């Protein structure tokens, strides 16, 4: 499915989100009549998965003159520490004030995508849904969910993130629904009654009773319409353990519900995924939130390496264009 072009906020285009020294630089150079054709390169501070390039290109497309060149890696490619992943060659004044935004797109989205990829790798094929929208500022919830899907998540929970990533949003039901209905079975039956058929019937089973007990009550009530249960046991009750998953599986099987799936959420990390897999917990899917959202950005550095075709660099960098055969012409 074709992904829509990501929107760029007006405040970004206007330079309002830029570091003020870039705005001042623009002013000084304008008044000094200086606007050399400059090549600027971006590299990351650590290994990871590159994400944010679609927004980078969307922004540059709107601001660069016709004779500019942009080379880079593509969305979702792996990258190494200090590897050049983006090179812009154009009159400096045409893009100088966007250094802040360009580095920002890449830094935060690459951080999220890289963390998502770690979970996906750990799960070895078991699907993962991005559940972290509640841990980030809503202005970037969609970008975060999009990056998680670029990192390999099957889907995500925010509507707008799913739209950006061209997937169907996923989720089960919140504790609030159950608490408003006052009973898990009642809430599950209402959910089943009122929602379209294509919404999966996955019921949250840790609200009022022990998970194993609640799973059986729900399964008895919904029978073959129940597609899965979600275990989200709070830390106060020890969190979800492999033993709990195995027991719920065993009790469901014993009661004749071998096709009801088990989803797990709450504090899921790559380490816990690996541990549960090694312990043989029969899990059909994970919801991952804070592991992805708490991953720090992968900081990017931008350096000018050529001015009007002459190699140049500040101390600590090597003058001249940095060779990287992986780069493709993007603009």
Q: Which of 157, 218, 228, 285 binds a second copy (CB under 8 A)?
A: 157
- Residue 173 touches a second copy, criterion: CB under 8 A: yes
**Closer Cβ to a second copy, 40 or 185, answer by number:** 40
Buried-exposed string 255-276: b where 16+ CB fall within 10 A, e elsewhere: eebeebbbbbbbbbbbebbeeb
CA 302 to chain centre: 23
Please report how close the Cβ of residue 8 comes to a second copy at its closest, in angstroms.
8
Question: Nearest CA to 263 among 189, 146, 171, 175?
Answer: 171
- Residue 127 touches a second copy, criterion: CB under 8 A: no
Compute the distance between CA of residue 129 and CA of residue 148 in angstroms, rounded to an integer.
9
Please report how close the Cβ of residue 82 comes to a second copy at its closest, in angstroms.
9
Binding to a second copy, residues 61-120 (CB under 8 A): 92, 96, 99-101, 103-105, 107-109
Please report how close the Cβ of residue 223 comes to a second copy at its closest, in angstroms.
20
Binding to a second copy, residues 1-60 (CB under 8 A): 9, 11-12, 15-25, 27-29, 31-32, 34, 36, 38, 40, 52
Q: Which of 124, 139, 197, 329 binds a second copy (CB under 8 A)?
A: 139
**Closer Cβ to a second copy, 154 or 177, answer by number:** 177
Q: Which of 227, 261, 269, 294 binds a second copy (CB under 8 A)?
A: 294
Q: Which string of x and - marks every residue 227-266 that binds a second copy (by CB under 8 A)?
A: ------xxxxxxx-x-xx-xx--xx--x------------
Question: Nearest CA to 143 among 314, 35, 293?
Answer: 293
* Residues pairing with 88 in the sheet: 40, 70
Check: CB of residue 288 under 8 Å from CB of residue 153: yes
**Closer Cβ to a second copy, 125 or 258, answer by number:** 258
**Closer Cβ to a second copy, 314 or 329, answer by number:** 314
Compute the distance between CA of residue 93 and CA of residue 307 in angstroms, rounded to an integer.
13
Q: Which of 76, 181, 269, 270 binds a second copy (CB under 8 A)?
A: 181
Please report how close the Cβ of residue 220 comes to a second copy at its closest, in angstroms.
16
Please report how close the Cβ of residue 282 comes to a second copy at its closest, in angstroms.
12
DSSP 3-state of 311: strand
Question: Nearest CA to 48 among 15, 81, 26, 82?
Answer: 81
Please report how close the Cβ of residue 277 comes to a second copy at its closest, in angstroms.
18
Binding to a second copy, residues 263-292 (CB under 8 A): 289-290
**Closer Cβ to a second copy, 126 or 304, answer by number:** 304
Residues 6+ apart with CB under 8 A from 40: 87, 88, 89, 92, 95, 99, 302, 303, 304, 305
Check: CB of residue 214 under 8 Å from CB of residue 232: no
Question: Nearest CA to 263 among 289, 240, 234, 236?
Answer: 240
Please report how close the Cβ of residue 14 comes to a second copy at its closest, in angstroms.
9
């Amino acid at each position: 499915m074709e992904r829509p072009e990501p929107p760029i906020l007006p405040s970004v285009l206007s330079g309002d989100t830029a570091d003020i020294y870039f705005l001042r630089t623009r002013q000084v150079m304008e008044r000094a009549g200086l606007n050399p054709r400059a090549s600027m390169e971006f590299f990351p501070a650590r290994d990871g998965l590159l994400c944010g390039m679609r927004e980078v290109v969307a922004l540059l497309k709107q601001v660069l003159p016709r004779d500019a060149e942009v080379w880079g890696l593509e969305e979702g490619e792996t990258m190494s520490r200090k590897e050049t992943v983006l090179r812009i060659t154009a009159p400096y004044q045409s893009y100088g004030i966007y250094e802040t935004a360009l580095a920002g797109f890449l830094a935060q989205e690459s951080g999220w995508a890289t963390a998502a990829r770690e979970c996906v790798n750990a799960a070895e094929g078991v699907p993962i849904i991005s559940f972290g929208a509640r841990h980030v500022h809503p202005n970037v919830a969609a970008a975060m969910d999009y990056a998680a899907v670029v990192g390999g998540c099957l889907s995500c929970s925010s509507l707008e993130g799913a739209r950006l990533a061209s997937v169907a949003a996923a989720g089960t039901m919140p504790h609030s629904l159950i608490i408003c209905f006052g009973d898990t079975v009642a809430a599950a039956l209402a959910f089943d009654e009122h929602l379209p058929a294509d919404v999966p019937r996955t019921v949250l089973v840790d609200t009022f009773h022990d998970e194993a007990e609640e799973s059986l009550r729900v399964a008895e009530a919904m029978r073959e319409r129940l597609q899965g249960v979600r275990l989200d046991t709070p830390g106060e009750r020890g969190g979800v353990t492999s033993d709990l998953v195995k027991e719920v599986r065993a009790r469901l099987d014993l009661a004749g519900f071998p096709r009801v799936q088990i989803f797990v959420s709450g504090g899921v990390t790559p380490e816990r995924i690996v541990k549960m897999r090694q312990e043989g917990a029969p899990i059909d899917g994970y919801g991952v939130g804070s592991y992805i959202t708490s991953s720090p950005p992968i900081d990017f550095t931008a350096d000018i390496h050529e001015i009007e075709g002459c190699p140049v660099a500040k101390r600590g960098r090597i003058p001249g264009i940095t060779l990287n055969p992986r780069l493709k012409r993007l603009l």
